[in-house]
Amino acid sequence: MDTAMNNKWQRLVGYLKALRLSWSTVAVMAVFLAFADGFVLLAFQGAVGAVERQSQPFQRWIVMSLLLIPFYAAAVVVAMILTRRWAGKLRRTWVKGGIAVLLIVGTSALLGAAMEGVNGVYDYSLQSKHIDLMVATHSLHNTEKSLFAQPGPVQTPKCDAACRQKHDTIVVHIRSVFLAGELMLAINLVVTVWLVAIRGGRLWAAPKRQRRSRALAATSVRLPEGAGQPALV
């Protein structure tokens, strides 16, 4: 088992090395995207989430964003792998870079929307208990009217006051997923384009030859004209 795991790990490391990813770029993008989308998640949770999860928002934003960094790093890596697979043979670097930006934005926004859905499921589990408690405490009037009443002999399930409130809560959480996804799509596009511009459009690591030539050019000092000639007395 250990040998098989070591072989799989070596294959994964070799595959990632062959991609020539710029891990500094991946790390910076993961941090910025995690904190940006974490703010959106916290804002939507404060708007439609459970009451008991709305204390200490700043600390929760920091903790949530830090926990999201590995997931966004994986999303960026997946986007770069897809770019290599779909646009690896393109000669124009700006086209390849544009495809990479779009894929990074799409995967990160999809991840953020999925996180919003997970938050919604957990918040609904808490809110449904609150609704049941409120109905039992305040003795809300249960009606015989169905939410999906249709004319005719078809029997439709009855829905009381608690059922209607739970249904409305589910609808709100579903809408929040789509709204959060759209907002994250716009925010992630701005953040990704800004970071790529700061990096000078470089998303992948340069080949060894280019890195050696850049290092030699940086370390070599050009002497001014006449510096090597002896001074005239």
pLDDT digits (tens, 9 = 90+) for 89-144: 766 777 778 888 999 999 999 999 999 999 999 999 988 888 888 877 765 444 44
CA distance 166 to 146: 14
DSSP per position, 48-88: HS-GGG-SSHHHHHHHHHHHHHHHHHHHHHHHHHHHHHHHT
Segment of 63-67, 146-150, 215-219 carrying the highest mean pLDDT: 63-67
Classify residue 101: in a domain, yes or no: yes
Classify residue 227: in a domain, yes or no: no
Q: What is the pLDDT of residue 49?
A: 86
The count of domains in the chain is 1
Q: What is the pLDDT of residue 53?
A: 82
Classify residue 229: in a domain, yes or no: no
132 vs 149, residue with greater confidence: 132
Classify residue 67: in a domain, yes or no: yes
Q: What share of the chain is helix, strand, coil (3-state, %, to 5)?
A: 75, 0, 25
Domain that holds residue 53: 9-205
Classify residue 149: in a domain, yes or no: yes
Residue 158 banded pLDDT, cuts 50, 70, 90: low
Q: Is the pLDDT of residue 172 over 70?
A: yes
